Amino acid sequence: MDAIVVANLSKSFGAEPARRNALKGVSLRLAAGSMTALIGPDGAGKTTMLRTLAGILTPGAGEVSVLGHHLPEQALAVQRRIGYMPQRFGLYEDLSVEENLTLFADLHGIARSEREGCFSELLTMTALGPFRKRLAGKLSGGMKQKLGLACTLIHPPDLLLLDEASVGVDPISRREIWGIIHRQVVEHGITILLSTAYMDEAERCDSVIVLHEGEILAQGHPGRLSSPLEGRSFLFELPENLSTSPRTVQSTIAGLPGVIDTVIQANGLRIVMEEPAPPALPADLVGRGTLKASPPRLEDAFVSLLFGRVKRHGISVPAETAASDGTVVIEVHDLYRHFGDFTAVKGVSFSVRRGEIFGLLGANGAGKSTTFRMLCGLLPSSSGTLRVAGLDLRRAPSAARARIGYVSQRFSLYEALSVKQNMEFFASAYGLQNRRKKSRLAWALEEFELSAYAGANAGDLPLGYKQRLALACALMHEPGIVFLDEPTSGVDPLARREFWTRLNALACQGTTCLVTTHFMEEAEYCDRLVLMSLGEVLAQGTPSEIKAAARRPGEPPPGMEDAFISIIEEHERSSRRAS
Amino acid sequence: MSMMRLMGLIRKEAYEIVRDPSSIAIAFILPLALLLIFGYGVSLDARGIPVAVVVDHPTLLTASFVGELRSSRWFRPTNYPGEAPAEKALTDGRAAAIVWLRSDFTRLALSSGRAPIHVIVNGVDANQARIIENYLNGAWLAWLAQRAAGEGIRISAPVVAEARVWFNPAMRSRDYLVPGLIAIIMTLIGALLTALVVAREWERGTMEGIMVTPAGKMELLLGKLIPYFVLGMGGMLFSTIMAVFLFRVPLRGSISVLVACSSLFLLTALGMGLLISILARSQFVAGMVAIVATFLPAFILSGFLFDIHSMPRVVQLLTHVIAARYFVGLLQTIFLAGNVWSIIVSNCLGLAILCLLFLGLAIIRFRKRLD
Cα–Cα distance measured from residue A346 to residue A236, given in angstroms and rounded to the nearest whole number? 40
pLDDT number for residue B353: 95
The number of CA neighbours under 13 Å toward the Cβ of A40 is 27
With an 8 Å Cβ cutoff, are A109 and B207 in contact?
no
CB < 8 Å to A75, chain B: 368
Convert A247-281 to b/e letters by CB count within 10 Å (16 or more is b).
Answer: bebbbbbbeeeebbbbbbebbbbbbbbeeeebbeb
Residues of chain A whose beta carbon is less than 8 angstroms from a beta carbon of chain B are 13, 51, 54-58, 72, 75-76, 79-80, 82, 84-95, 99, 102-109, 135, 148, 151-152
Q: Would you state the pLDDT for residue B155?
A: 54
pLDDT at position B303: 83
Instruction: Evaluate if residue B4 carries a pLDDT over 80.
Output: yes
Comparing CB atoms, the residue among B2, B4, B20 nearest residue A94 is B20
Cβ within 8 Å, pair A135-B210: no
Please tell me the distance from the alpha carbon of residue A405 to that of residue A472, in angstroms, as a whole number: 10
Architecture of the structural domain at A2-219: 3-Layer(aba) Sandwich (3.40)
Instruction: Tell me yes or no: is domain A323-403+480-533 CATH 3.40.190.10.
Output: no
CB nearest to A89's CB, from B19, B205, B213: B205
Can you tell me the distance from the alpha carbon of A305 to that of A45, in angstroms, rounded to the nearest whole number? 17
Does the beta-carbon distance from A55 to B370 stay under 8 Å?
Answer: no
ipTM, 2 decimals?
Answer: 0.77
> Nearest-CA distance from B237 to chain A in Å?
27
Q: Residue A29 and residue A468: Cα distance in Å, rounded?
A: 37
Query: What pLDDT shows up at residue A289?
Result: 82
Instruction: Give residue ranges of B with CB < 8 Å to any A CB.
Output: 2, 4-5, 7-9, 11-12, 15-16, 19-20, 201, 204-216, 368-371
CA distance B369 to chain A (A): 4
What confidence tens digit (pLDDT) does each residue in A481-492 have? Answer: 999 988 877 677
In angstroms, rounded to a whole number, what is the distance separating the alpha carbons of residues A53 and A474? 40
A79 neighbourhood in chain B, CB within 8 Å: 211-214, 368
Contact B212 A135 (CB under 8 A): no
Which residues are within 8 A (CB) of A113 and not within 5 positions of it... i.e. 6 or more apart?
A: none
Query: Under an 8 A CB cutoff, do A103 and B208 touch?
Result: no
- The Cα of B186 is separated from the nearest Cα of chain A by a number of Å equal to 26
Which of A13, A91, A107 has its CB closest to that of B5?
A107
Q: CB burial class (10 A; 0-12, 13-18, 19+) of residue A123?
A: buried
* pLDDT higher than threshold 90 for residue B154: no
Q: Whole-prediction pTM value?
A: 0.80
> Would you place residue B44 in the very low, low, confident or very high pLDDT band (cuts 50, 70, 90)?
low
CA distance B105 to B116: 7
Please tell me whether the peptide bond between B250 and the residue prior to it is cis, using omega within 30 degrees of 0: no
A259, β-bridge pairs: A273
pLDDT in tens, B68-102: 888 877 788 888 888 888 888 888 888 888 988 88
Whether B371 and A58 lie within 8 Å, measured CB to CB: yes
Distance from the Cα of B208 to chain A's closest Cα (Å) equals 7
Residue B123: count other Cβ atoms within 10 Å of its Cβ: 12
Distance (Å, rounded) from C-alpha A342 to C-alpha A338?
A: 6
A210: nearest Cα among A287, A304, A123, A131? A304
**Is the pLDDT reported for residue B331 higher than 50?**
yes
Q: Over 80: is that where the pLDDT of B163 sits?
A: no
Which segments within A94-174 are labelled E, that is strand?
Answer: 159-163
Q: For chain A, which ranges sit under pLDDT 50?
A: 322
Subunit contact B216:A54, Cβ cutoff 8 A: no
Across all residues in chain B, what is the average pLDDT? 86
B358 pLDDT exceeds 90?
A: yes
Is-cis flag, bond preceding A17, omega within 30? yes
What CA–CA distance (Å, rounded) separates A217 from B302?
62
- Shortest Cα distance from A96 to chain B (angstroms)? 10
pLDDT, position B219: 92
* pLDDT tens per residue across span A428-446: 988 888 888 999 999 888 8
DSSP secondary structure string for all residues of A311-348:
----PPPPPP-TT----EEEEEEEEEEEETTEEEEEEE
Interior CA angle at A527 toward A526 and A531, to 5°? 60
Residue B327's pLDDT band (cuts 50, 70, 90): very high
Paired sense of beta strands A512-517 and A357-361, if any:
parallel
- pLDDT reported for residue A322: 47
Q: What is the mean pLDDT of residues B143-156?
A: 70
Residues of B in contact with A92 (CB under 8 A): 12, 15-16, 206
Residue B189 CA: distances (Å) to CA of B16, B233, B294, B307, B362: 17, 10, 10, 24, 18
Q: List domains and CATH numbers for chain B.
A: 3-42+172-365 (no CATH), 49-151 (3.40.1710.10)
Amino acid at the residue B94: R
- Across the interface, whether the CB atoms of B8 and A76 are under 8 A apart is answered no
Whether the per-residue pLDDT at B248 is higher than 50: the answer is: yes
3-class secondary-structure state, position A387: strand
Average pLDDT, chain A: 85
Nearest to A108 among B12, B213, B216 (CB): B213
Cis before A72? omega within 30? yes
Contacts of A55 in chain B (CB under 8 A): 212, 368-369
Q: Looking at the predicted structure, is the pLDDT value of residue B168 above 70?
A: no
